[in-house]
A = this chain, B = another copy of it.
Amino acid sequence: MIDSHLFSHITIIGLGLIGSSLARAIKSKNMAGRISVYDNDEEVRAICRDLKIADIVHDSISEAVSGADLVILAVPIRAYSSVAKKISKHLSSDVIITDVGSVKKEVIVSLRAELPATINLVPGHPVAGTEHSGPEAGFSELFIDRWVILTPENNTNTNAINLVKKMWNKLGSNVEIMDASHHDRVLAITSHLPHLIAYTIVATAADMEGQLQAENKNTDVVTTADVVKYSAGGFRDFTRIAGSNPLMWRDVFLSNKDAVLEMLGRFNEDLTALQKAIRWSDGEQLEKWFTRTRDIRRGVIEAGQAGRFEYTESKKKDND
């Protein structure tokens, strides 16, 4: 290993938004002697060759992981098991395996079932992303100022944890270590439920025209064109979230079912309470409710998690 590199050979499996961003970021920080990548989609591999995001884009997953001292899985969660099966016999004995999946408990179970018992596994989750998918959507700054959560098991080698932590720090991320089950509950409310709600409301709006026609409410039909045209009133923010990768999100909900259903239950209680306040014209209750939620927004801004894309808009106003 050359001293200046954190790893001598990093392999990334899966070259979507996150995997391709990682390849770019690792390359730009010169963090590995060699970067190998693989994706099971031939077209994606061709794009990544054109984009030159790695030293080698392999056509074989087993060749891709051979000799690597760090393997990063960046595939949809339900593919972990089959990927682990394919690479298991080709891994170096001292390799560290990490991943970027949005659910952690199930990931550990499915990887542990397929990988050699002695393998160093450091599950990880960068809380970062955009609405775009695929290798062209990736960019090397995606992880700057974002949190990365690592969920190692109790007996994981400390050196392995520290190396993965160091990698993320070098990419500009802050790293937190927690239990996999705590991760899954926190993300259920901060990420999975918001996506579920956004997917729902976008579908409700998309179906409106057809629904109203089916109900024979042919006067005053709210059309899909209306919905798109006047989306700036709030709806557009939901469409951004609901534009995220369908396969990735299908797997998140299937893999974190219990926590998502728990949070959805709590949300439904609150929604019913708010619905009742509207039906009863309880202005005082509504005002109290809407004032409280502002404090949370302030917290998000102060924590620096409000998103870079908003900064420009505020700045623009300051200069106005």
Residues of A near any B CB (own CB < 8 A): 24, 78, 102, 127-132, 137, 139-141, 146-147, 149, 176, 179, 181-182, 185-187, 189-208, 211, 220, 222, 224, 226-244, 246-247, 249-251, 253-254, 257, 260-261, 263-264, 266-268, 270-271, 274-275, 278-279, 281, 283, 286-287, 289-300, 303, 305-310, 312-314, 316-317, 320
Contact A246 B291 (CB under 8 A): yes
Contact of A203 among B207, B239, B292, B305 (CB under 8 A): B292
Q: Which of A131, A224, A228 has the most CB of B within 10 A?
A: A228
Closest B residue, CB atoms, query A314: B132
Chain B residue contacts of A316, Cβ below 8 A: 139, 141
Contact B24 A246 (CB under 8 A): no
Chain B residue contacts of A205, Cβ below 8 A: 189-190, 296
CB A101 to nearest CB in B, in angstroms, measures 13
Contact B297 A283 (CB under 8 A): no
Q: In the assembly, what is the distance between CA of A212 and CA of B137, in Å?
A: 39
Closest B residue, CB atoms, query A268: B271
Contact of A241 among B78, B237, B264 (CB under 8 A): B237
Chain B residue contacts of A229, Cβ below 8 A: 147, 176, 303, 305
CB A51 to nearest CB in B, in angstroms, measures 10
Q: In the assembly, what is the distance between CA of A189 and CA of B296, in Å?
A: 25
Q: In the assembly, what is the distance between CA of A115 and CA of B228, in Å?
A: 35
CB A240 to nearest CB in B, in angstroms, measures 7
Q: In the assembly, what is the distance between CA of A169 and CA of B191, in Å?
A: 39
CB A255 to nearest CB in B, in angstroms, measures 10
CB A168 to nearest CB in B, in angstroms, measures 14
Contact B254 A202 (CB under 8 A): no
Please list the 6 inter-chain residue pairs (A to B) with the smallest Cβ-Cβ separation, ordered nearest first.
Answer: A191-B233, A243-B297, A246-B290, A194-B234, A139-B320, A309-B313
Query: Taking A250-B290, A254-B283, A287-B246 as contacts, is the C-beta distance between A206 and B312 under 8 angstroms?
Result: no
Closest B residue, CB atoms, query A102: B233
Chain B residue contacts of A200, Cβ below 8 A: 267, 270-271, 274
CB A100 to nearest CB in B, in angstroms, measures 12
Contact B296 A204 (CB under 8 A): no
CB A200 to nearest CB in B, in angstroms, measures 5
CB A107 to nearest CB in B, in angstroms, measures 16
Q: Which of A203, A242, A261, A293 has the most CB of B within 10 A?
A: A293
Contact A203 B257 (CB under 8 A): no
Contact A189 B294 (CB under 8 A): no
CB A254 to nearest CB in B, in angstroms, measures 6
Contact B130 A230 (CB under 8 A): no
CB A269 to nearest CB in B, in angstroms, measures 8
Contact B234 A237 (CB under 8 A): no
